[in-house]
Copies of this chain bind each other. A is one copy, B any other.
Amino acid sequence: MSTQTERRRRSDGERSRRTILLTAARLATVEGLDGLTIGRLAAATGMSKSGLFAHFGSKEELQLATIGAAEEIFAEDVLRPALEAEGLERVRALSERFLSHVGRNVFPGGCFFASAAAELDTRPGPVRERVVAVQRQWMDLFEGAIRTAQERRELDPSVDPAQLTFELNALLGEANGLYLLSGDPGAFDMARRGIADRLERAAA
């Protein structure tokens, strides 16, 4: 009985924590991770300020937990489907899933990590470091797929993988930014065209 009650409580807490963090992640792409205040988040989730606060203990812990929730969403929506492919097809799938992710407005402020990176780039601390780490993972994944594509001779082995990663990510980032500023999905088409051209030129 007491065990069951405790289990229920814990699971209720988990569920409530999840709800809070999903709302927080969406809100943070609009208000920023710093503009995300405990009061507004409490209002958005229908909880009391201190009730919500009790889940995290500090604003910084809330921000870190929010980044974790955003990571999960991104992994599920972009990485998981793209990782089913390999080599050049993986490079294409990562790009296409990213553009689709932004275009479906999974987060109202576009790519969570582009938004967070722009906000935190000049603010030292553990929150910034966490965002940098996620960004680096993404770049490494991209670069790894390019290297595999070169081993398979789907891409010219003389191409610099870091340079190609930089260029493809530039196109993805610009599509995200331009779409948010203009509301025009044509931004995705320009990125697609740029990526297709660049990959064609890098073909073996």
Among A58-66, A78-86, A172-180, the one that faces the other chain is A172-180
The secondary-structure label for the interface of chain A is helix
Nearest CB on B from A155, distance (A): 15
- Residues on B with C-beta less than 8 A from A108 are 122
Sample of 16 further A-B pairs with CB below 8 A, known A35-B35, A170-B173: A30-B122, A30-B123, A32-B32, A34-B35, A108-B122, A114-B118, A117-B177, A119-B119, A163-B190, A163-B193, A166-B187, A167-B174, A170-B171, A170-B194, A173-B174, A173-B177
Q: How large is the interface on A (under 10, 10 to 19, 20 to 34, 35 or more residues)?
A: 35 or more
Q: Does chain B have a CB within 8 A of A103? A: no
Give this chain's copy count. Answer: 2
- Residues on B with C-beta less than 8 A from A167 are 171, 174, 190, 194
Decide if B118 touches A177 in the complex (CB within 8 Å).
Answer: yes
Q: Does chain B have a CB within 8 A of A181? A: yes
Partner of A118, one of B118, B187, B191: B118
CB-defined A-B contacts under 8 Å, sample of 12: A30-B123, A32-B34, A32-B35, A109-B121, A115-B118, A117-B177, A118-B118, A118-B119, A121-B180, A135-B181, A163-B194, A166-B174
